[in-house]
Chain A
Amino acid sequence: MDKFLYLISEGLKNVWRHKMTTFTAVFSLFLALYFVGLLATAGENTRSILQYLRSKYKIEVFFKQNVDLKSAKKVSDLILEVKGVRSSTVINKDDAVRIFKDQFGEDILGVLGYNPLPISAVVNLKRNSEEMLKIAPVVSEIKKMKGVQEVRYQGHLIKKIERTYSRFMQLFPGVAVLFITVSVLVIYNTVKLSIFSRKELIDSLKLIGATKLFIQMPFIFEGLIDGVLATLISIPLIMGTVGGTNYMIDNFTSWNIELTVAPILFIWLTLLSGIISVLGSYRAVSGIMK
């Protein structure tokens, strides 16, 4: 028991004895965890951002002047059956006048003496599709419907958003794997370097008859402490960065988006740093002892 406690206390003391090495190891671990955490948060929130942007997609369908409200509602029901359509709301002639006044400040009835605005419908698309949303087929199907005069939509913007999302989703797994691999290598090599700088200690312990386990234990425990410290620093910073981003979105944009951090991410980060630093310490000490 004394021996075990000694090895644990040695691990703790080593953190203090080799402050510079500990700082380097913890700092690089922290950087790697911080960026992996942000990347995971970005991946996690991409869908909700896209859903928010898709909720803004709008197709405006204008009916011919001779189409009455009842016929327009029938066409609207047909529109609802088109694949990819979430909702279709009919706007009658009176509502159109009110909307016109809200938007342009002019009472069109007062100016012209009659209501030239046609009945229209606002069509919204489904938001939660994993695939790239294609708006052109929806528009072309609506255009073919009886009584439809004109269909207006933000084609260019929607195409751009959908294409960007599609590219992001294609690249994300590769970037994530690359980033985690680089992080693992950085952490592993930092731990390795910090142990190599104490080769003298390992050699001395070997000479006085220390077993492999006796030599490895303090280093492994030290690696674990480094990992825990780095996680403890990176978690509040990830939360702070996400909070700061939310503050900026709230105060400087008109977007109604709130980025979130999944609590499970912190468990993953703790496991990642713990496993890598412990494995890194174990392998580095074993390498020196060969």
Chain B
Amino acid sequence: MIDFQNVSYTHLKGRGVTNLSFSIDDGEFVFLIGPTGSGKTTLMRLIYFDLLCDSGKINVGNFNSDRIKKSKIPLARRDIGMVFQDYHLLNDRNVFHNVALPLHVIGCDASEISYRVEDALELVGFEGKRSHYPHELSGGEKQRVTLARAIVKEPKLILADEPTGNLDPVAAFELVQLLETINNEGTTILMASHNYNLIKGRGRRIIELKDGLMRGS
């Protein structure tokens, strides 16, 4: 699913990632850990082609960092669901319309959108409040909606960048369980976190970053 070959990227103000090489297979659930500033977010951004690597090569599904054209990046992102610490929900539309947004992007018709949104909300355990706006939801609820939005288009890969960062321990634990349920359906998941206690003992592969370098996998 994901293949990094000697990938390096340096931000304009310094830091980034250096000479990363690893692979993540289809259907795998991998945790990415490391302290703040270790390069986790940079690595994620390289995967969804928000950044293009300075050297090395990245393969994500059928897309390759060497050959990808700018106009094809949106297509690459349609196979990726994203969950962020700060949710990235749109405050001017309700839960239903937030979750439905990726389906409009891929051009689904209204009836398909309706049942797929319901299915996604049901899967993440968020069935009521579909007409509520993000500011009316708790942090845990917002993150469930974000997850529903990520899975509604049935992506092959989910990138979760510190998704539990703003959640209390119980909500954080539930979210990881939800991600595991989704992974059991065959979706590849890469979750970045600096909360080692949350991910230890789950029997999943862990990639560790420090100062932009890979310390272990």
Contacts and interface: CB of A to CB of B under 8 A. Distances in A.
B152 to A, nearest CB: 10
Interface residues of A, number: 18
Nearest to B97: A13
A207 B48 contact: yes
A18 interface: yes
A3 B92 contact: no
Contacts of B71: 211-212
A212 B78 CA distance: 14
Contacts of B92: 17-18, 201
B75 A209 contact: yes
Given A207-B82, A209-B77, A211-B74, A2 B90 contact: no
Given A209-B77, A210-B74, A2 B109 contact: yes
A209 B107 contact: no
Interface size, B (range): 20 to 34
Contact of A210 (B82, B93, B105, B110): B105
A102 interface: no
A207 B149 CA distance: 11
A270 to B, nearest CB: 29
A204 interface: yes
Contacts of B75: 209
A150 B163 CA distance: 100
A198 to B, nearest CB: 8
Contacts, number: 54
A209 B107 CA distance: 12
B63 to A, nearest CB: 12
A207 B90 contact: no
A200 B74 contact: no
Contact of B82 (A200, A208, A211): A208
A214 interface: yes
A3 B104 contact: yes
Contact of B102 (A2, A6, A203, A209): A209
Nearest to A3: B107
A72 to B, nearest CB: 84
Nearest to B78: A209
Given A200-B90, A210-B74, A211-B74, A205 B101 contact: yes
Nearest to B100: A6
Contacts of A200: 88, 90-91
Contact of B88 (A203, A209, A211, A214): A203
B102 A208 contact: yes
Interface of A: 2-3, 6, 17-18, 200-201, 203-212, 214
28 contacts: A2-B107, A3-B107, A17-B92, A17-B93, A18-B92, A200-B88, A200-B90, A201-B90, A201-B92, A204-B90, A205-B101, A205-B105, A206-B74, A206-B77, A207-B50, A207-B77, A208-B78, A208-B102, A208-B149, A209-B74, A209-B75, A209-B76, A209-B105, A210-B105, A211-B71, A211-B74, A211-B105, A214-B105
Given A200-B88, A207-B48, 16 more contacts: A2-B109, A2-B110, A200-B90, A203-B88, A204-B88, A204-B89, A204-B90, A205-B101, A206-B77, A207-B88, A209-B75, A209-B80, A209-B105, A209-B106, A211-B71, A211-B74
